[in-house]
Structure 1
Amino acid sequence: MRKNCKLALLGLFITGWASAQIDTSELGELRQGKEYNISQKQTFPDFTYQSSDHEDLTKIRTKYGLDAIAGKGSDIERAKRLLKWFHEEVPHNDAPNIESLNAISIIDSYRTKKQAHGCYPLSIAMNEVFLAMGFQSRTVICFSGRYPSPEGGHVINSVYIPSLKKWIYMDPQDNAYIMDEKDNLLSIAEVRERLISGGVLKLNADANYHGKADDLNDYLYTFMAKNLYRLICPLKSEFGSQTRAKGKTIQYVELLPVASKDPVVDGFETNTNAKTGVNVINFHTNNDRLSGKNHNPHFGLSIP
């Protein structure tokens, strides 16, 4: 069993684990909000992914020896090695975010000060590690459908695996990825669909929370079943994209089920911070297949 954990972002708290048994109310809420509207027509800016040749990503790759860590082999094997390395490199602990949210600051703050981090910074750093190694990757902020407060949440990654031609679910906090009954890696959307339909879901054997093996029921059927209702992705996937620098504009796309309530204003909804001038723009959609204005790439959360 996990303690409730918190990660603060502009007054928003992402809280962690609860029960070690399947909570049917969590699945019920997800099932009630299962429908998307693939006929919905709207546009938003395209998702973009910084090139691994960018100087900041090149610095990450060389500073931490990522080529050797990823090693040889398939893109699947390399992604798994990067996930495991980062999970072991920076432990989880719920604490206020550091000001500069990028992989170098996050990794080095643990190396020099033993400062562990919450799921949000961990996902940001993991995302930049994947980008540095040439993977398209996004941070995915996961919330419940509970209003006015989401009652916690979790932040993971969606990583595109070229050999599979699909996005897969990866969680750096727990060194976790999800598989079907044949050990095929699953996307976030496939995990969500199988939670709703009752399909088989498997966790990798070395998935763990603070060194203790993850319990499938606890992690998926309670914790993530609650938090796979409302999904938010930054539109720009690049070094330092989530650092809230003075006057900066940050754009998100938020995927919500049909007939869901409008979220309250929080750190990820459209707003302008009066003190910092940080401008957040959030594009809401009920269409999980929707593309950006140039139709490439798609949201990355739909079932292939």
Structure 2
Amino acid sequence: MEFKKRNILIAIVIILLAIHSNNTNAQTTTQDSIVCAQFDQDLKTFSIGIKELEKSNKKDYIAISKLYNNILTKYESLPTPLQKKYDNIRSLYYNSACYNVRSGNKKKALAHFEKVADYGKDNYSWAKVDSDLLPLHKYERFKKALVRLAEKTDYLGILKASQAYTADKKEYQFKYANPNDTNLVRLRTIFNLDSIAGCGNEIAKIKNIMYWVHDIVSHDGSSNNPAQKNAIDIIRLCQKEKRGVNCRMMAQILNECYLAMGFKARYVTCLPKVMINDCHVINVVYSCTLNKWIWMDPTFAAYVTDDKGMLLSIQEVRERLRMNLPLVLNDDANWNHKSKQTKENYLDYYMTKNLYHLECINNTGFNTETYIKGTTDTPEYKLNHYFVDLCPQGYQPDNKTKKSIVTTDDQHFWESPYKN
């Protein structure tokens, strides 16, 4: 299974972030500073070397694995406190294990896969089927390491083991901005959303708007959030600076576009049981035709159906994963028009991790997450804007930093916005 180039670039970004983290920490001894300065240089050399080797269509796996082995050996030689400063470097062990298999160094590959299990942030479901690692499957060391990794990242197993939802008496209400809101009318006019939506049926309009957001703004998971978090300003900023935004901001754009067109919509933070590396934010929009909320993901231009072509909700996708029922991802799902998304990498490996618990803000409209002094920091505003977390029974998310209502009642959470 050939590595995707963007996976290597992500690894390099992690390295540069580690360098930045170290450089911004002033509380180091003189000796530590010298050691860190040398390791920073080693990381830069590694990054340059990987980029050069990745340019070739025919990969030199021996050369690549040597670069990985060298930088990880240097990392392991750092004093323990300094290793903690460069903790993200451990994400390189997985790639190193794969490249060492390809270069014929199974002993080193096994040692580094054991480090993968220690690190516990790589996806078990992917590791157990990754063809790069197949030559290691016969070794007891690999089997034991895979079991240890499963305890941390067998996301499907974790999802299946979650307790059922159940009705409760939590009181909250989801509210949706009126399409006649001045700012939403402005959004609809500036970007001619009526034309974008087209003249087709409801489902066609919902899809067209999602595809338009996917195309007009690129995804960049490492970008900083803009100060003005509304569709108009985000799109203009991205066009001006030729930049992308993260999944949360893309969902903000799509949500406001749906609201402007008269649809009831929410952006949903999809979270793992334990936050290890990331989560994902997508949208749900209420279809009056289907009488349910349906899944729309502008980051990957993705939606999900059953094997008969019926569009599904988050609730339905989650349950079908738990029950091993068929799921189909649209054929044109993609990341920035650079890499195709498949059911395996998007649903089975990524979203399975991120469907353990779900979070929505109760009141959505234009500029929902923009801080406006004298407006969004008032007691009245805070009283009417809070998060609702849908969780399995027996699970309590860490919401120490924000106001949140935790519920186990999925029927209330997903009820029709048109309910009397």
Q: TM-score, normalised by structure 2?
A: 0.61
Contact 2:220 2:244 in 1 (8 A): yes
Percent identical among aligned pairs is: 34
Q: In structure 2, what residue type is equivalent to 1:100?
A: Q
For structure 1, the residue ranges without an aligned partner over 5 or more in a row are 7-15, 272-279, 300-304
Q: Relative to structure 1, is the Cα distance of residues 287 and 238 closer, same or farther in structure 2, using a 3 angstrom cutoff?
A: same
Q: Is the 8 A contact 1:22 1:217 kept in 2?
A: no
- Distance, in Å, in 1 between the alignment partners of 2:170 and 2:353 is 27
Q: 1:225 to 1:298 in 2, by over 3 A?
A: farther
2:308 is equivalent to residue 182 of structure 1: yes
Give the C-alpha shift of residue 100 in structure 1: 1.1
- Asked if residue 32 in structure 1 is aligned to residue 161 in structure 2, the reply is yes
Counterparts of 1:110 and 1:291, CA distance in 2: 33
CA contact (8 A) 2:264 2:417 kept: no
Q: Is the contact between residue 49 and residue 237 of structure 1 (CA under 8 Å) also seen in structure 2?
A: yes
In terms of fraction of residues, the more helix-rich structure is 2
Change in 2 beyond 3 A, CA 1:118/1:19: farther
1:161-187 deviation per Cα after TM superposition (whole angstroms, max 9, x unaligned)? 111111000000000000001100000
Q: Which runs of 5+ in 2 are unaligned?
A: 14-120, 129-149
Deviations 1:52-100 (A, max 9, x none): 1111000110000110110101100001010111100000012111111
Which of these residues, 257, 262, 280, is aligned with residue 154 of structure 1?
280
Deviation at 1:196, TM superposition (A): 0.6
Question: In structure 2, the residue corresponding to 1:198 is in which secondary structure?
Answer: coil
Query: Does 1:114 pair with 2:242?
Result: yes
Q: 1:131 to 1:234 in 2, by over 3 A?
A: same
| One of 317, 321, 325 as aligned partner of 1:195 | 321
In 1, Cα distance between the equivalents of 2:244 and 2:250? 9
Counterpart for residue 126 of structure 2: 21
Larger radius of gyration, structure 1 or 2?
A: 2
Return closer, same or farther for 1:22/1:125 CA change in 2, 3 Å cut-off. Answer: farther
Q: CA contact under 8 A between 1:19 and 1:218: conserved in structure 2?
A: no
The aligned counterpart of 1:275 is: none
Inter-CA distance 34–185: structure 2 relative to 1 (3 Å threshold):
farther
Q: CA RMSD in A?
A: 2.5
Residue 265 (structure 2) aligned to one of 137, 158, 165:
137
Decide whether aligned partners of structure 1 residues 100 and 115 sit closer, same or farther in structure 2, where only a CA change above 3 A counts.
Answer: same
Give the Cα–Cα distance (whole angstroms) in 1 for the partners of residues 319 and 127 of structure 2: 17
Q: Is the 8 A contact 1:290 1:298 kept in 2?
A: no
Match of 2:406 among 263, 284, 289: 284
Distance 2:195 2:125 in 1: 38
**Cα deviation 1:260-288 (Å, max 9, x = unaligned):** 1x222xxxx354xxxxxxxx421111111
Residues 287/183 of structure 1: CA separation in 2 closer, same or farther (3 Å cut): same
Say whether 1:169 aligns with 2:295. Answer: yes
Q: TM-score w.r.t. structure 1 length?
A: 0.83
**Runs (4+) of structure 1 moved beyond 6 Å?**
16-20
1:211-238 alpha-carbon deviations (Å, 9 max, x no partner)? 1210211100111000001100010110
Give 1:49 deviation, angstroms. Answer: 0.7
Letter of the structure 1 residue corresponding to residue 178 of structure 2: S
Shift of 1:17: 9.7
Q: 1:291 to 1:35 in 2, by over 3 A?
A: closer
Contact 1:57 1:131 in 2 (8 A): yes
2:227 pairs with one of 99, 117, 138: 99
